[in-house]
Structure 1
Amino acid sequence: MDIISHLTRTVSPAVLGDDRSPAKKNLLEQFYAIFAARLADNDTYGRFANENIARDDQGFYDRVWTDGSHRDQISRELAGKHNVDATASRGLIAMAAPLAFHEIKSLAGTTPVPQFLNDNLASYQHHIPAWASTVLPAGMLAATPAAGTGTRISDTTSTAPLHREEEEKGSFMKALLPIIGLIILGALAWALLRGCQDNPEPVATPVATEQQANEGDEQLAVAADVEPASLRIATGENSELYACSMNVGDDTLQSNVMNALSGAFGDEANKCRADVDDNFATDMPAAAQLASILPIVKSVPNASMIIKGDNITVNAPDEAALQKLVSDLQAAAPAMTVQAEGPLDLQGEIDNSLAAADVAMNNLGDNPDPRDVARALSIQVINFQVDEAVIPDVNKAVLDRAAKIITEVPNMNLMIIGHTDSQASDSYNMELSRERAESVKAYLVSQGVDASKLSTKGMGESEPIAENSTEQGRFRNRRIEFVVNDETNSANDGMVISNDALDPDLNPLDSNNDDLLPDGDDATQGTAVDPAN
């Protein structure tokens, strides 16, 4: 067994799904070698030694190579070598890194990961391309160790070397004699054991190793099929609940999260949108600490928090407040990994979103649920230029696949919803978001989709999912969402939205969809009459 083969067997299927492309498989194999060589550096690994890295942490790759030029070089070189689209290359790498990290840690067992990787350098060194010398610690491209140098998997997994050196010709028979003796002894022992067993098994069958491998495969399959439950909230200038959404696997978890939100924010919790579906996990590691976590976030104006899996990521416009927020949350939830959100990596976010959308669409299967199609399409970032509604070319491959699916699946009716940040006036943002949604619809229709299957809506800045006080928050609020257009369902599902629910002021007393201000027919919402759009 060698490290690259193990990662290819366990990680690659979780990353590629049903995509059996040899080029992408080979790309990942070469990346595993580069990745292992990077983690063999004590300083690099030391940054993550005490972190609980989530298996879906696609930002982990960016933290392993903090130099953006190095990340760009890796994805570009691998893409060129294996004839894979550069965007797809970046996405595959980002998905593979955290999974490969977990597998390498598992292989290392009690052996420190850098020591384990240096001990077994010979097993993956020959996979590392020459150009990678600029992105790796010195010495990783040196010649493989001479014969006789001990190599091992780990203290707990195996003591057999991963790489077998060729013996000198003169010592061949000398080395062979003890082996022949061992074979004879093994045969005698096997015969003796066979006579004592009704259902004998071969001697030295690595039962525990196989079981561990199977369990690892099952865990990876689960990780690939079920997304961790998540909660995203943002506070406003007066620490009110400015934005809120959750993705959960069942009603019980939704209820538990809502109870905690209500305890912290009162009736404001009712604005939280929930997507309840078995695509998501039914447990949230931070759920038991929400009663302590939420008041801490509430105390910081214009803050944001994302809970996903074992990770909590926070942001705030004030650096001192941000660092205190991280410290207070870590104290309230010591089992979680709490971190401040890093600077916005625009290209990385776009690349990762397209790769994730591609994987989600690969997993749709035949005759998919329209809600799963909507989710897959909503993953992608459509990064329109400022004040424009022209679809970037990089998004067209995903939309082309979507057009084919929408055309083939009967009774699929989707609504395309445009959202903006709060940088311009309400009326301008409303119109711009509508134009962008219409642009996406027009493109899908040009690819053969029946126009009657699609409707559009511009929401402007009225439904943020993050704060608008930071660059990262504004980026998340500028988005295109796809939802199932089903008037018989409620808005709180998060993926099935009725026309009434699309009122920006969420007024239940009218059914028009062009509101910019609270309706005059609802005294609790003010008296200003909505201007016509």
Structure 2
Amino acid sequence: MDIISHLTKTVSPAVLGDDHSPAKKNLLEQFYAIFAASLADKDTYGRFENENIARDDQGFYDRVWTDGSNRDRISRELAGAHNVDATASRGLVAMSAPLAYHEIKSLAGTTPVPQFLNDNLASYQHHIPAWASAVIPAGMVAAGPAGERISDTTSMAPLQHEEEKSGSFMKALLPIIGLIILGALAWALLRGCQENPEPVATPVITEQVAEGDGQMAVAADVEPASLRIATGEANTLYACRMNVGDEALQMTIMNAMSTTFGDEANKCRADIDDGFATDMPAAAQLASLLPIIKSVPNASMIIKGDEIVVNASDANVLDKLVADLQAAAPAMMVKAEGPLDLQGEIDNSLVAADAAINKLGENPDPHDVARALSLQVVNFEVDEAVIPDVNKAVLDRAVEIMEQVPDMKLMIIGHTDKTATAEYNMKLSQERAQSMKDYMVSQGADPSKLMTKGMGETDPIADNSTEQGRFRNRRIEFTVYDESALNNDTGISNNAMDAGSNPLDSNTANTATGGVLDPDLNPLDSNNDDLLPDSDDPSRGTALDPQANN
């Protein structure tokens, strides 16, 4: 087999997992060839020849192509050529680079890697697209003898292949037969790529569906994976939320968080759902990004797609933070959060909630219902619990949906910022959650299907030192209430999202179980005992919160 075949068999399954997308497999094959051509350059390889490259070192890709524009072009061109989302393309190449590096080193054995790759240039040269000449060191595509391909054995050095002497008529026919078979396989693969669309986990797919005399575009949209963190005083982690498509990405992020913040990383909560991407372009740079944000007290960072948005209470500190993060992740777009546009946030959130509700369809998943309702910003007046009129249309639709899904139970959770006393905030958040329930009941909702909880200031999603952060923390969240979960250690199933206009987070404390909420809703402990934070529970976990069934 050739180098590309070997990498396809060994690296691609590790990168793609259960995703059997032909498009992504072909994208990786082409990237392996570009990657090999780059390593064939002695100067490029010499930069990290003596490094101990970890197999999960996704920052390694950035060190192979130090020019961010080259990295962008590689992911963009590969994405376009194989009809794969650009964000997914960046994640795939960053994840595959260190794994492919180890496999190539293993195949080279005692032969220097550049020499090995030049000797076997013919085994991958035909996979290199013409545009790649701009991202590969000069002359690498044409330089070097086209040596024989490596063998199918596990030999650690290229195996020289002896040409068989001409012989029988059948031997003469074998190459022709082989070409016919390869042609048939190529045709079958091409047909399979055309007939099998991208899986749901692919970020954006557009399918044309006939409707009457015209056509209607149907988009299967997947939200980019995201991470939101805020720091407190003395380099502490104040809040942490992530939205990811699978547990593999969750673990990648959690490992980076644990390395930087230690045990405080346990504050991170994850919403794991196939509605989010399974890759994050910035994942490879988290080891560099997280220490930077940790060094700035009372700051916040939101990573979503290829964008990083940060904020801090001091303008000079914020400028430096943006510059430092941009230097650590040149391929990302790093910017400071703009001034709070309150009306814009409200309007956009209501549009997003309405669109999400429209997509629910018949017999919707309760978790999707909770997410849709949590998208809305409920802008209560200061010290008030009166629902603004603009939110009532969304709540009316929620009542209709609950009538259609009679088994669905929801919990409404109120949150505040930290501008008043803890006791006052706890009471106000409970009153606001209760007002949401009261309105829905007045519109016909079954009161036994709606629970409420006030969290006060105890469960922030942003910093409390900026206007924008306080706005994010003042929110109403809807979660799925699962009575059966209260009778075991798995807690309440929850997938609710941030009520702000950027739906980047939710509340799932026990992330090891794949999206399960600590029933006491307390992000500061690890028990699954009750529905009250331990600090206000006289029974210390021996009884359920009587307010939970309001």
TM-score with structure 1 setting the length: 0.55
State the distance in 2 between where 1:420 and 1:308 align: 24
Cα pair distance change 1:282/1:494, threshold 3 Å: same
Tell whether 2:497 aligns with 1:501. Answer: no
The 5-angstrom pairing of residues 139-288 of structure 1 reads 217=206, 225-288=221-284
Describe the superposition over 1:367-400 as per-residue Cα deviations: whole angstroms up to 9, x where unpaired: 0000000000000000000000000000011111
SS at match of 1:301: coil
Cα contact 2:415–2:455 (8 A) shared by 1 = yes
Question: What is the count of residue pairs matched by the alignment?
Answer: 314
Per-residue CA distance 1:86-117 (angstroms, 9 max, x = gap)? xxxxxxxxxxxxxxxx9xxxxxxxxxxxxxxx
Q: 1:443: how far off? A: 0.7
| TM-aligned CA distance change 1:236 to 1:221, over 3 Å | farther
Residue 510 (structure 1) shift:
4.7
Contact kept, 8 Å, 2:396 with 2:443, in 1: the verdict is yes
Once residues 519 and 287 of structure 1 are traced to their aligned partners in structure 2, the CA distance between those partners, rounded to angstroms, is 42
Aligned equivalents of 1:509, 1:367: Cα separation in 2:
30
Does the 8 Å contact 1:330/1:336 carry over to 2?
yes
Cα RMSD between the aligned structures? 3.0
**Do the aligned residues in 1 keep the contact of 2:227 with 2:302 (CA within 8 Å)?**
yes
Structure 1 counterpart SS, 2:427: helix
SS at match of 1:388: coil
- CA distance 1:492–1:264, change in 2 (3 Å): farther
Given the alignment, which residue of 532, 535, 538 partners 1:513?
532
Matched, 1:424 2:420: yes
> How many angstroms apart in 2 are the aligned matches of 1:491 and 1:419?
18
The one of 323, 326, 340 aligned to 2:319? 323
Q: What letter is aligned with 1:303?
A: A
In structure 2, the residue matched to 1:393 is 389
**Matches of 2:246 and 2:528, distance apart in 1:** 30
Q: Aligned match of 2:481 in 476, 481, 485? A: 485
- Counterpart Cα distance in 2 of 1:301 and 1:236: 5
Q: In the alignment, which residue of structure 2 is the partner of 1:364?
A: 360
| Aligned residue in 2 for 1:351 | 347
Query: Does the aligned pair in 1 maintain the 2:520–2:529 contact within 8 Å?
Result: no
For residues 394 and 348 of structure 1, the distance between their equivalents in structure 2, rounded to whole angstroms, comes to 13
Cα offset, 1:245, TM superposition? 0.4
List per-residue Cα deviations over 1:297-333 (Å, max 9, x = no partner): 0000000000011100000001111001100110111
Sequence identity percentage: 68
Match of 2:375 in 1: 379
Q: 1:464 to 1:223 in 2, by over 3 A?
A: farther
- Structure 2 Cα separation of the partners of residues 519 and 425 of structure 1: 20
Change (3 A) 1:387 1:316: same
Partner SS, residue 235 of structure 2: coil
How far off its partner does 1:514 sit?
A: 5.9
2:294 is aligned with 1:298: yes
Contact 2:481 2:494 in 1 (8 A): no
In structure 2, what is the Cα distance between the partners aligned to 1:221 and 1:242?
A: 43
Instruction: Tell me if structure 2 keeps the 8 A contact 1:316–1:470.
Output: yes
Judge conservation of contact 1:233–1:465 (CA < 8 Å) in 2: yes
Aligned residue identity for 2:419: Q
- AA aligned to 1:271 is K
Aligned counterpart, 2:122: none
Q: Equivalents in 2 of 1:514, 1:250: separation in Å?
A: 29
Relative distance call for 1:428 and 1:515 in structure 2 (3 A) is farther
Deviation track 1:54-110 (CA, whole Å, cap 9, x = no partner) reads: xxxxxxxxxxxxxxxxxxxxxxxxxxxxxxxxxxxxxxxxxxxxxxxx9xxxxxxxx
TM-score (norm 2): 0.53
Q: Which string of whole-angstrom CA distances, capped at 9 and with x for unpartnered residues, describes residues 107-151 of structure 1?
A: xxxxxxxxxxxxxxxxxxxxxxxxxxxxxxxxxxxxxxxxxxxxx
**8 Å CA contact 2:267, 2:524 repeated in 1:** no
Q: Indicate whether 1:453 and 2:449 are aligned.
A: yes
The corresponding residue for 1:475 is 471
**Alpha-carbon deviation of 1:270?**
1.0
Task: Tell me which amino acid in the other structure corresponds to 2:327.
Answer: A
- 2:276 partner SS: coil
Deviations 1:404-430 (A, max 9, x none): 001111310100000000000000000
The verdict on how the C-alpha distance between 1:521 and 1:373 changes in structure 2, with shifts beyond 3 A counting, is: closer
Give the aligned partner of residue 437 of structure 2: 441
Question: In the superposition, relative to structure 1, how do residues 499 and 281 fare at CA in structure 2: closer, same or farther (>3 Å)?
Answer: closer
Look up the SS of the partner of 2:340 in the other structure: coil
Please list every run of 5 or more consecutive structure 1 residues that lacks an aligned counterpart in the other structure: 1-51, 53-101, 103-214, 523-529
For the structure 1 residues 240 and 459, does the alpha-carbon distance in structure 2 shift closer, same or farther, using more than 3 Å as the test?
Answer: same
**AA partner of residue 521 (structure 2):** L
| Correspondence 1:22-33 to 2 at 5 A | none
Instruction: Find the aligned partners of 2:316 and 2:220 in 1 and give their Cα distance.
Output: 37
Note the C-alpha offset of 1:502.
Answer: 2.0
